[in-house]
Amino acid sequence: MRRDPYRFVARWYDKIFGPMNRGLRLLGLRMFRPREGMSILDVGCGTGAHLELYQRYRCHMYGIDPSPAMIKVARERLGDRAEFHLGDASDMPYENRSFDLVICMLALHEMNPPTRSAVIGEMKRVLKRTGRILLIDFHPAPVRPFKSWLARLGVLFSEIAAGREHFRNYRHFMRIQGLPALITEHALVVEKQKVVGGGALALFLLSASHPCEGSAKACW
């Protein structure tokens, strides 16, 4: 079995990346304000910090992540206020068309290309017809000097530190032009977008014209 790449980092993850990530999460919340009773799924939910921000909206919250260490922190953080599933999002245990919002933040860049594709297919499958997908990840746009060079350099160091496979997947993600390329490939429709961090990060709020297209599981 594959070793958990987050086994040593999970406990420290929010202490290291919390401040930067919180700013991104708040921008995402501004792009899609949930209503009470909505169902929200966080794909690659990590420590559950993103879902924690949504709990004030009294939504039904779900998170999926293959890292036992990250899921453990998430469960400790949210208890029974969210339902966490330990597993790979390329094969999710949820019914077709069950979520109003599917979030995926800083996870797609670290997946290998076939997994990334399958995960996006699954996100479309479990999205309600009226639902939205919120993607937040690194962005390949030319960065503005000097602050953004520092941001890109910081990203580069953390990606190298995350290990060879992680870095290889990150480089592939950047080479194919990141989220805009994946959005086109999967026929997702851009509702809102925002590029931040001097061009180093981007947020996309998307709808899916054909929620079940590209999914391995049959739609009903």
Ligand X SMILES: C[S@@+](CC[C@H](N)C(=O)[O-])C[C@H]1O[C@@H](n2cnc3c(N)ncnc32)[C@H](O)[C@@H]1O
Tell me which residues touch ligand X (CB under 6 A): 6, 21, 43-46, 49-50, 64-67, 70, 88-90, 105-107, 110-111, 115, 119
From residue 185, how far is each of 11, 17, 121, 207, 209 by CA, in Å? 35, 30, 11, 14, 13
Cβ-closest residue to ligand X? 46
Q: Specify the residue, 100 or 137, whose C-beta has the smaller distance to ligand X.
A: 137
CB of 47 to ligand X, least distance (A): 6
The SS3 assignment for 48 reads: coil
d(CA 128, CA 122): 12
Q: Specify the residue, 119 or 182, whose C-beta has the smaller distance to ligand X.
A: 119
CB of 53 to ligand X, least distance (A): 10
Q: Which residues contact 97 (CB under 8 A, 6 or more apart)?
A: 125, 126, 127, 128, 129, 131, 211, 212, 219
Q: Specify the residue, 36 or 164, whose C-beta has the smaller distance to ligand X.
A: 164
CB of 19 to ligand X, least distance (A): 12
The C-alpha R_g of the chain, in whole angstroms, comes to 16
CB of 49 to ligand X, least distance (A): 5
